Chains A and B, each alone.
Chain A
Amino acid sequence: MSVYDQIAEAKAASVGEIEKTGDLESLKAIEPMLFGKKSTLGGLKRLMGEVDAQERADVGQALNEAQLFVREAHEAAKKKFELSDRRAQLETERLDLTESLHVANRGHLHLVTQTMERLEDVFVGMGFTVSEGPQAETDWYNFEALNLPAAHPARSMFDTLYLDLGDRTEIGDGEGGEATNILLRTHTSPVQVRVMESTAPPIYTVCPGRVFRRDTADASHMPVFHKIEGLVVDRGISLADLAGTLNEFTAAYFGGAISSRLRPSYFPFTEPSAEFDITCVICEGDGCQTCQRTGWIELGGCGMVHPNVLANCGVDSEEWTGFAFGFGIDRLALMRYGIKDLRDMYTNDVRFLEQF
């Protein structure tokens, strides 16, 4: 048998061994027979010494080629087994992704908080800060400083809840002067007063928060509800600035289709005073039942801060002028989602709260 025949036979034997294997494991088991000094082909290296010097190169090449051939056959078999293993593995891992047992576990902010934050964000975008103050207030901050002395007829506009603090409670004599009653604020205007007392103008701030009225709860009234008020005090602030600011807010909050208008009105703390209407958000101004076919809905009150209020807060009304506005947050939340009854927002039923 020639050297070349021996090499061919060993190559065929090696390939035959590879073909007999069925998986990676058995392939691995025959690797010593395929590669290395003790392998079938490796054993033939000794033939190199038995041939002529001039033939040695040819035999070497034949051996190398045979070894390369076996290596490739092994590599191909290995790839084939790896692929089938992967296929088998993946098949065992097959999932029905609709079998998820997870129940969503994220909470929800109250509708009023969401509305309040949305309003705050619009005003922050317009250059305002957000101011806060106590819910239990003195008569001074809630009424007197706001040009509403005791016995002012407009006080009847606010059904006020007073606190009983024992010896510290003084029932007002209705004649002004030393009214030190503690009450639950009926609006967030006391925060405006506190801001003006403590901060030098210019002031651009909104005061969101909880307010209280002595109102029996019904579909559109709650004794506890939420308001946002705004205050700007700066040099040369005008009624046109109020109109422009409310326009900008209205477009930012409600969208470009909704605009605002001012109508003369009366509040003790502003002069001139106005009602602040917006285009009806239901019919966008065409006229519907919600807006009583006027195309407008009343949103809140506003006006130029009364010089007496500025004076009460230590602001020189010749140098500085300002405007203020205010409206209910709860009602905006109702309007946005078409909620019919205000009381629904305060049952704390999770089936209601989860929807927002």
Chain B
Amino acid sequence: MKVLLSWLREFAPIEGDPYELADHMSDLGMAVEETRILNPLEGVVVARVADLRPHPKADRIQLVDVEIENGDPMQVCCGAFNMSVGDLIPFATIGTVMPDGMEISQREMRGEMSNGMCCSAAELGLGSDHDGIMILPEHLETGAPLMQELGLVGDILWDLEINPNRPDAMSVAGVARDLAARLDVPFEIPEWTVPSSGAAEDLASIQIDDGVLCPRFTGRVLRGVTVGKSPLWMQMRLTLLGMRPINSVVDVSNYVMLELGTPNHTYDLSLLPNGHIGVRRASDGESITTLDDQERMLQPNDGLIVNEADEPIGIAGVMGGASTEISDTTDSVLVELACWEPRSIARTSQRLGLRSEASARFERGTDWQINVTAVQRFCHLLNEVTPGGIEIVGEVLDVAGTTPDSISVPVRTSRISMLLGRDFSSEEIRNLLTPIGFDVENTDSQDVQLVTIPSFRPDTETETDIAEEVARHYGYGKLGATVPRSPDAGHLSPQQKLRRVIRQVMTGAGLIEAMPNPFLAPDDITKAALIVEEPVRLLNPLAVEESVLRPSLLPGLLTAVAYNYSHRNMGAKLFETGPVFEASEDSSGLPLETEHLAALISNADAFAATSLLKDLASTLKLEFQLTNVDGLAGLHPTRGAKINIGDTEVGSLGEVDPAVLRSYEIEDRCAWLNLRLDLVIEAAISVEGVSYQPVSTFPSSDVDLAFAVGEQVQASEIEMTLRKAAGEELQSLHLFDVFRSGQLDEGVRSLAFSMRLQAKDKTLTDEEVGVVRQRCIEAVESAHPASLRA
């Protein structure tokens, strides 16, 4: 919403520095996006078009001779074609600095000289119209400085951002009301009176069939209406506020809408049989041809204006119909000033793609109590701008639907003070609310005042809403700043702390955290060789390539590594934590969402993944068990294992399937680790705080054992057997050498383990160590196809 100082001043004597006024408006919740002081624009003058002719070498520009004073016409090259010989236009002479900083100079365009510039309203900063050269009213003086001639010099234009809960601020008068209250100056909307004659009842009638749709419909009959040009001052104000002047009737209509926030409409009364207008909701299959000559299909619940024959003649609050449009032959007019149900207008305008200045106001809710004033203002203005005036017939026609009840809210001074954190007195609250139209009365209780909400503030309904009004007009910045303290210490949960620890283990191992797109293309799942019965799809994706929610972190990380390979970042080591989704329902009906940790290490074999898992195990004090499994989805068919903590499967690791890597154009092996982060964290929490083992002070003994073990046995199985057999004297055990060689039997490899034995309470004798050693050898040889190597 744009507002002009001179227009605001018609409602309140507002004065002050333009930027300070802007700060006040921002502080009142009408954020000022731009403050513009209308400068004289020196060098821009009124010029007459003396001649128009084609450019000999260019189609998109024409040659214009412009005349200033009585001098010789000057030739200008111009890209617009909307003017005619004799028109007055704004002309920037050579040396003029335009509002955007561009300086006008003499230049040659395709062999023709251009001695200045014909200007559009937008180029002059006078509006948003870029579409053609601004055509000026005929009575202006040729050669005169434009801005002085337009009476604009020194005026201030503010561009305000109005929140959806402020329908009142969608009008010049409403902004003036708020600002006047802040500045403590009087505010008043004049009561415009117009002379009338005759009776309107015989000429027009209004019938509301749906009072919820149309709380109030006010109309008036006008005669002797001629469609002409509106005066310059009106055209300028409309232009500056972003609307294009059309003709006197449309301009008055828009002017009243901008001024009072009341969209309105005019009908050619002669095209309305018996002057009858009805209001109802549309039914299925109805359609209407709107003002823009488009056929519009209607749906039930759309608001409709109909004629005596019940045929649609307008879509309520959105757009009028073509059948009753004002034309050059119009004499009698019915002006409509109606209120509409905001939700209905919002739905219809959105569906039809017909958002307008009018629908924007109806959607927020217009003031039903200003109808008559607005109709009077319309008549008053049209009478003023029509040469010879118009005839206003009879009384105002005013039909009520279901008008909103006036709301009165008991407001506790103590509650307002508590909510805002400052002690207000009842009088202060009254003095803040009264100037913005709220009526405040005392009650029997000292603490409670009864506040009646004005009809132009449909957003305000409760004591809390009123607290906002008090805060707004007192000033948010003046309320003070206190800091409440939680009774408990701030902290991260054990899960959150462990997630951070796990991420640190990843970065400590040299991995970089990636954040791939969680949206996949449907074929990404098969490209990564995953098997997902029913992935979660988006109902309204932006693109089909982003239409599936990831069922695994693998496709995203593969895409990230592939991106790095294509940019010569070979050997990228990436990890990610985050949820993956399955369509199956969790207990609350949501898709199953589980948090995973995944690492993709390029240019590394599967042991890079097991190393990472060992780092995690060491930090989290967890024992992971691996079971080699052929053909895990997405993994190298013979280099994969599932990971367990006890009986719970918590993930898998290995290498990515070479065929998958080929489809992603990754030329190196990639190690892969995937863990259910939620399960790992829960397991880590369960072992936190487990008591320690005191370090034995007695000497330890080392035993190394190498076994020839059949390939069908996992090294971890031998390790487990050794661990069990060694008993409580075992201090540490690890695999330290693996070798395969022709010297060994077919299908057998050598696994060498190193054990350290130590007792808590004594030095183990050679004999005792020998007993443990023998026990271990026998246990392995009896439980597995394995034999001790000499």
Contact = CB atoms under 8 A, between A and B. Distances in A.
A106 B488 contact: no
Contact of B492 (A124, A223, A243, A266): A124
A180 B589 contact: yes
A226 to B, nearest CB: 9
A245 B484 contact: yes
B514 A163 contact: no
Interface in A105-164: 105-110, 112-113, 117, 120, 123-130, 132, 134-138, 151, 153-154, 156, 161-164
Contacts of A340: none
Contacts of A354: 512
A206 to B, nearest CB: 9
Interface in B482-510: 482-493, 496, 500, 503, 506-510
B738 to A, nearest CB: 25
B346 A153 contact: yes
Contacts of B510: 105-107
Contacts of A261: 476-477
B170 interface: no
B485 A127 contact: yes
A353 B560 CA distance: 12
Nearest to B584: A165
A247 to B, nearest CB: 5
A240 B422 contact: yes
B420 interface: yes
A232 interface: yes
A321 B418 CA distance: 9
B563 A349 contact: yes
Nearest to B484: A241
A105 B612 CA distance: 14
B564 A137 contact: no
A272 B490 contact: no
Contacts of B546: 223
B27 A263 contact: yes
Interface string A237-252: 1111101110110000
A272 B472 contact: yes
A244 B481 contact: yes
A304 B166 CA distance: 18
A236 B579 CA distance: 38
A125 B591 contact: no
Interface string A248-279: 10000000000001111110000111110000
B476 A239 contact: yes
A169 B583 CA distance: 11
B590 A137 contact: yes
Interface stretch (B379-387, B515-523, B659-667): B515-523
Contact of A304 (B28, B464, B496, B574): B464
Contacts of B537: 163-164
Contacts of A162: 538-540
A210 interface: yes
Given A106-B510, A321-B419, A349-B567, A136 B536 contact: yes
**Max count, chain A CB within 10 A of own CB: residue among B490, B493, B569:** B490
A107 B573 contact: yes
Contact of A265 (B29, B513, B549): B29
Contacts of A248: 483
A46 interface: no
Contacts of B589: 138, 168, 180, 182
Interface in B300-347: 342-343, 346-347
A107 B448 CA distance: 63
Given A153-B342, A264-B476, A266-B163, A238 B514 contact: no
Contacts of B419: 238-239, 272, 304, 321
A272 B468 contact: yes
A130 B496 contact: yes
A120 B482 contact: no
Contacts of A347: 563
Contacts of A247: 481, 483
Contact of B481 (A137, A215, A243, A350): A243
A325 interface: no
A331 to B, nearest CB: 15
Contacts of B507: 106-109
Contact of B491 (A129, A137, A166, A346): A129
Interface string B536-574: 111111100010010000000000100110010100111
A135 B581 CA distance: 10
A241 B483 contact: yes
A347 B572 CA distance: 13
Contacts of B31: 263, 275
A231 to B, nearest CB: 12
Contacts of A306: 464
A245 B350 CA distance: 39
Contacts of A262: 476-477
A317 to B, nearest CB: 8
Contacts of A166: 534, 583
B649 interface: no
Contacts of A326: none
Nearest to A153: B346
A228 to B, nearest CB: 14
A136 B482 contact: no
A244 B476 CA distance: 12
A266 B165 contact: yes
A353 B593 CA distance: 27
A238 B343 contact: no
B420 A109 contact: no
A264 B420 contact: no
A214 B164 contact: no
Contacts of B420: 238-240, 272
A174 interface: yes
A127 B518 contact: no
A17 interface: no
A244 B485 CA distance: 11
Interface in A308-356: 321, 345-351, 353-354
A161 to B, nearest CB: 6
B279 interface: no
A157 B451 CA distance: 31
A138 B579 CA distance: 17
A355 to B, nearest CB: 11
Contacts of B513: 107-110, 113, 353
B4 to A, nearest CB: 21
A124 B490 contact: yes
A248 B549 CA distance: 38
A284 interface: no
B363 interface: yes
B748 interface: no
A301 B563 CA distance: 36
Nearest to A272: B468
B468 A204 contact: no
B482 A241 contact: yes
A106 B508 CA distance: 5
A262 B573 CA distance: 44
Interface in B367-401: none
B480 interface: yes
Given A174-B347, A240-B481, A107 B164 contact: no
Given A165-B536, A240-B482, A263-B26, A129 B514 contact: no
A202 interface: yes
**Max count, chain A CB within 10 A of own CB: residue among B165, B476, B540:** B476
Given A238-B421, A241-B483, 17 more contacts: A110-B515, A112-B515, A162-B539, A224-B517, A238-B482, A239-B421, A239-B471, A240-B420, A240-B480, A240-B481, A261-B476, A264-B472, A272-B420, A307-B462, A348-B574, A349-B563, A350-B574
19 contacts: A107-B510, A117-B500, A127-B485, A129-B492, A153-B342, A154-B164, A165-B583, A216-B542, A223-B542, A223-B546, A240-B422, A240-B479, A241-B484, A243-B479, A243-B482, A271-B465, A271-B467, A348-B563, A353-B512
Which 8 residue pairs spanning A and B have beta carbons closest together?
A: A240-B421, A238-B421, A264-B29, A272-B468, A107-B507, A127-B486, A266-B163, A244-B481
